[in-house]
Amino acid sequence: MEKIKTDVLKQMFLDGARLIIEKEPYLTEIDSVIGDGDHGEGMKRGCEALIKILETENYVYVDELCRAVSIELIKTMGGASGIIFGTMFLGGISSLGH
């Protein structure tokens, strides 16, 4: 299995977070049809917080980066999304053993 470098994964998180922020109006629009319309706002809030820590902190290991991403999303995103996305990245590193 090919390994991913921490700085490449960090850039992927940054790119994904910026795209989600850009698409906040669309997320709000579709959640207004099927839910209560706050999904875009929560995703944007979590992604803005994520960008802030990723732009200021340095991570040596992939699991260290994923753990920080998880904690930040759980802390800031709110609703079910924060727990789901935060847990997903935390669960993804559970077998790395660091």
Lookup: tokens for 98? 């660091």
E strand or H helix at 54 = helix 39-56
2 binds Mg ion (CB under 5 A): no
* Nearest distance, CB of residue 84 and Mg ion, angstroms: 12
64 binds Mg ion (CB under 5 A): no
Q: Which of 18, 20, 30, 38 binds Mg ion (CB under 5 A)?
A: 38
Other Cβ atoms less than 10 A from the Cβ of 11: the count is 12
Angle at 93 between CA 65 and CA 45, to 5 degrees: 50
Q: Which of 2, 36, 55, 95 binds Mg ion (CB under 5 A)?
A: 36
Residues that bind Mg ion (CB under 5 A): 35-36, 38
